[in-house]
Amino acid sequence: MVQIEELKQKVAALAEEGRARLKEVASPEDCEAARVAFLGRKGKITELVKFLPHLPPEERPEAGRLINSLKEQFQAELDRRLRELKAQEIEKKLQEEAVDVTLPGRPVALGGLHPSTQALREIYRIFLGMGFQVFESPEIETDEYNFQLLNIPPDHPARDMWSTFYLTEPGLLLRTHTSPGQIHVMRRFAPQPIRAILPGKCYRYEQVTARAEMMFHQVEGLAIGRNITMADLKGVLVEFAHQMFGEGRRFRFRASYFPFTEPSLEMDMDCIICGGRGCRVCKHTGWVEILGAGMVHPVVLRNGGYDPREFTGFAFGMGPERILMLKYNIDDIRLFFANDLRFLEQFSGGLR
């Protein structure tokens, strides 16, 4: 007969063994293995019930309590270890996956405005300061607006200066200059006075070279009113050029020809590169042309809805790309539209 004392020793030994085993578990899987080994169907603690039949009946209840409390004790310890391990696992994960918010970020590549856009905006800024407003007009034009209303009849030799692309639709073409916008803005506002600039893309059918593109920008300017004279034209353009190119520059006006202005002129600036001494850029004249201008031709005023006996006006046209070429000594206009980032990125910090 097994005595209860022997059972008590067994229980004490298993309690010790269980604690030792649970000290060593290192994962939830280890815990499960320990549970099976002690409390499973053939577990060491479970097997203790085999003692019961060998005990005298009066000792069996106490033996049962001993075994049960061992079971509970082991189970409680096991649960505690399992919670501990899970907490450790979470802690470890948190540390491994921690984000170091003090690390410098990866720089995001920012886009920049195209140099032509920057030049356009600078031109707007200057003319807005002198009371001009921006007026847009279409890139697809009629022959009438691009030529005839500007005093360039069909077959007039002046058309040779503005060969363009024609649409399959008869009478439509891509505008060769922003000057047709003069007629649009006059017809919109006549007989009120006008101070407007007309920016946009222009197109010309010509061999593309370092000096000529088939597409480029222009900014047209138009002022209509009573008593507007060439002195106003000169004052406005010199003010513009000083703001655009710097105070120290010198300018001159040369007689020229455009069918839609009379008299017509071209404005030159002393060459930035050589300071007027003469170099390759200014073709050794010391001067570079910056824009074309003139007093609005009476025929054009009338086509726009103004009586030339009452109104006068001036107009000018300039190319933002050309202005940047002069300002930064860029020798090839094709660079503007070739999408080469090495060129474009030089303007990402703005115009200087």
Residue numbers of the site for ligand PHE (CB under 6 A)?
Answer: 177, 179, 220, 258, 261, 292-294, 315-317
Instruction: Please tell me whether the peptide bond between 107 and the residue prior to it is cis, using omega within 30 degrees of 0.
Output: no
Distance in Å, CB of 239 to ligand PHE, minimum: 18
Q: Which is nearer to ligand PHE, 11 or 219 (CB)?
A: 219
Q: Which one, 200 or 317, has the nearer CB to ligand PHE?
A: 317
| Measured distance CA(183)–CA(303) in Å, rounded | 7
**Residue whose CB is less far from ligand PHE, 85 or 134:** 134
Q: How far is the CB of 275 from ligand PHE (least distance, A)?
A: 27
Q: Where are the alpha helices (DSSP H) in 97-219?
A: 115-128, 143-146, 180-189
Distance of CA 314 to the CA centre of its chain: 38
- Residue 261 Cβ vs ligand PHE, minimum distance, rounded to whole Å: 5
Question: Contact at 8 Å (CB) between 185 and 198?
Answer: yes
Q: Which is nearer to ligand PHE, 203 or 336 (CB)?
A: 203
Q: How far is the CB of 105 from ligand PHE (least distance, A)?
A: 48
Locus of tokens 């391990």:
85
- For ligand PHE, which residue has the nearest CB? 317
CB of 159 to ligand PHE, least distance (A): 12
Minimum distance from CB of 179 to ligand PHE (Å)? 4
Choose between 85 and 230: whose C-beta lies nearer to ligand PHE.
Answer: 230
Which among 110, 123, 111, 112 is positioned nearest to 324, based on CA atoms?
Answer: 123
Nearer to ligand PHE, 311 or 347 (CB): 311
Lookup: tokens for 97: 């996956």
CB nearer to ligand PHE: give 21 or 175. Answer: 175
Pairing relationship of beta strands 133-134 and 194-203 according to DSSP bridges: parallel
**DSSP alpha helices (H): ranges in the chain?**
4-24, 28-39, 60-96, 115-128, 143-146, 180-189, 230-245, 298-304, 320-328, 341-344
Q: What are the backbone dihedrals phi and psi of residue 289, each rounded to the nearest 5 degrees, phi first?
A: -80, 135
Structure tokens at 21: 């085993």
As measured in angstroms, the least distance from the Cβ of 177 to ligand PHE is 3
